[in-house]
Amino acid sequence: MTANPLHDAITTSVAHLHARAPGRAPQLAIVLGSGWDAVADQVDEAVDIPYAELPAFPVPGVAGHAGTLRLGRIAGREVALLRGRHHAYETGDAAGMKGAIRSLAALGVGALLLTNAAGSLRPEMPPGSLMLISDHLNIVQRTPLHDEPGASRFVNMANAYDATLRDQAAAAAADAGIELHEGVYAWVLGPQFETPAEIRMLQLLGAQAVGMSTVPETILARHAGLRVLGLSMFTNYAAGLSDEVLSHAHTLHTASATATLAARLIVAIVPALAL
């Protein structure tokens, strides 16, 4: 029998999750990007499990990512919060979240809510505002599925960000009095920020947001049969659109100022999703 280290890591991770949190059956998993970690404070009956105890999960290498899986309830719904993610720019590998997402699917999760910090390409979407992702541009043209066998790697991405979940999220935000923009997210590899010329190109291609995450996870989730919902928090205008000096520290500072609003949005959306 051919050894499959990833399969073994997933099996071990799922068994550990059952042992540490018996009876928990989350329907929804949420990946908390930079600036979104305040959502973790909204979880009731929380059980925290470090990624280090879960061999299928990554060890985040970016400030602001805790590297902990939190199981519990938000607004009465069972959830699994991933407090940190692997970014492709850390190692060049777009498949760094494969084990974590497949472990969640094996645990019974049916939908994945992805959050991120992003740069805004539109003046009407200023720093501190929030956006529902309607679609994405894989500018990097990398895939986390390159080593998948046969026809299974050819995943239909026509409804990558589930239209029904988007409608439910938009309605929940409106009911809560939270302005939620909607637009296309462009994935760039990073870690360097984009040039003004690159931003002008992305605008011409129809993007409203730009960031360095989310798209690989969306591909992995769709491959695993999970429905996907995506949210961006704007922490800055993209290069050339303002006089801001872009840095990761600036991203975290602006994200911190928006954290309370982001947490309110998640609390409003989670119970409104029909899973």
Pairing of the two strands 111-120 and 209-211: antiparallel
Enumerate residue ranges in the chain where pLDDT < 70: 1-2, 60-65, 245-248, 250-251
- Confidence (pLDDT) at 1: 47
Q: With b meaning 16 or more CB within 10 Å and e meaning fewer, what string describes 171-197?
A: ebbeeeebebbebbbbbbebeebbeee
- Confidence (pLDDT) at 152: 87
CATH superfamily of 5-272: Nucleoside phosphorylase domain (3.40.50.1580)
Of 29, 23, 114, which is closest to residue 74 (Cα–Cα)?
A: 29
Q: What is the CA radius of gyration of the chain?
A: 18
- Confidence (pLDDT) at 66: 74
- Confidence (pLDDT) at 2: 56
Cα separation, 212 vs 191, in Å, equals 7
- Confidence (pLDDT) at 242: 73
Where do the domains of the chain lie?
5-272
